Structure 1
Amino acid sequence: MSSSSSPSPDRSPDAPDAPADPPPGYPDLGPDPVDGIRLLRVPAVPTAVVRVTGVPMSELAEVFDSAFGTVLPRGFEAGLAPAGPPIALYTAAIEGPDSVVDLEIGFPLRAPLVEQVGAEPIEVDGRRIVASELPAGEIAVISHVGSYDDLGHAWGEFMGRIAGTGRAPGVPFWEAYVTEPSPDTDPATLRTDLFCAVRTPDDAA
């Protein structure tokens, strides 16, 4: 958008006009947090994930602890080599008093899972590491810097602002936990990149 143009009433002033190419190493977005929504047209990226369905939000922390603390480390022992920070990709979400989600917890890869660990299943306590991917297509991205406790609010704002780009949010949507937390980490400094598949609204011209 040139400096002489004005944003239309239904677009945010900083809304991108068209999707750009992803940065080298995508889904790594670079060392600096993404300030403001960006639209990217991205390739598919292979992942290794623990896939779970129908998880109540109240049990989500337990599922994350199991995946990252027990199941995925078994994959590392077998040769799994992450190509970026851990992710959680949500494929379905039912909101309400008994909110539940379907999601995939794991890591992006540079090569398909079978090329790294072979075809032998890796399973711990009934949870298995499976091959999946981050989808190709048009996505919106933004960074959240702050406590994980604030992610729900950050997602709400992000989804609301996507309309200002002339797109509508879709599924899947996912988080990349860029900052590796430790007991000494200040929660206010945690960076989480938020990604959402987007589409042109049905009522668009």
Structure 2
Amino acid sequence: MIEPLRVIKTTPQLTALIPISVPREDVRKVMGPGLAELKVGVAAQNVAVVGPWFTHHIRNPGEVFDFEISLPVATPVAPANRMKPGQWPAMSIVQTTYHGGYEGLGSAWGEFIGIIKTAGHRAADGLYECYAVGPDMSADPSAWRTVLSKELLAS
């Protein structure tokens, strides 16, 4: 289930990120270890995490997923191993929240993109998924919440 569309303007947010490029079938293999590596890297620099983790897919996923595992941070991180400093930019986005387990994300994205088009919005290539409530907070997948976002293009 997804919530109704929201159109919002983001503000810049510093991030720590690890860039990843893997075949579609390997995403589940790299996500957990990549997030753990990022958390360790941020903690080693005594940088505060200021919100839930998210992924930024540089382009809409296809056979290869080019994305960044990201954490919003209070101050810039220094590059270390695969970790790099980044920033979520100020932009207009269209957003919804998906309720449920990760296996339903593909169909949620399909529904979301259809609603975006029906509403007359034009969205940029790429996407953001913010894992607001996940398995680290609840063992019940029906309680999980993933915020889906697409950057809007100027009309």
TM-score normalised to the size of structure 1? 0.68
C-alpha separation in 2, matches of 1:138 and 1:101: 24
| More moved, 181-190 vs 100-109 | 181-190
Cα shift at 1:172? 3.2
Higher relative contact order (CA 8 A, sep 6+): 2
> Are 1:122 and 2:93 counterparts?
no
**Residue identity in the other structure for 2:65:** V
1:107-145 Cα distance to aligned partner (Å, 9 max, x none): 1123332xxxxx4x322xxxx110112222110010001
Query: What is the TM-score normalised by the length of structure 2?
Result: 0.88
Q: Name the structure 2 match of 1:83.
A: 50
Contact conserved, 2:3 with 2:97, CA < 8 A, in 1? yes
2:68 to 101, 104, 108: 104
CA 111–80 in structure 1, closer or farther in 2 if over 3 Å, else same: closer
1:5-154 pair list within 5 angstroms: 35-53=3-21, 55-93=22-60, 95=62, 99-113=63-77, 119=78, 121-123=79-81, 128-154=82-108
Q: Deviations over 1:56-112 (max 9, x none)?
A: 1111112112211234323212213111101011002453xxx11110102112333
SS at 1:76 equivalent: helix
- Alpha-carbon distance in 1 for matches of 2:88, 2:112: 19
Do the aligned residues in 2 keep the contact of 1:72 with 1:106 (CA within 8 Å)? no
Structure 1 residues 169-184: aligned runs within 5 Å: 169-182=123-136
Q: Which runs of 5+ in 2 are unaligned?
A: none
Code of the residue aligned with 1:101 in structure 2: it is F
- Secondary structure in structure 2 of the residue aligned to 1:40: strand
> RMSD in angstroms over aligned alpha carbons?
2.0
Q: Distance in 1 between matches of 2:107 and 2:61?
A: 17
What letter matches 1:67 in structure 2? G
**Structure 1 segments (4+ residues) deviating >4 Å:** none
8 A contact 2:99–2:143 mirrored in 1: yes
How many residue pairs were aligned? 154
Structure 1: segments with no counterpart, 5+ residues: 1-33, 114-118
Q: Is the 8 A contact 2:95 2:149 kept in 1?
A: yes
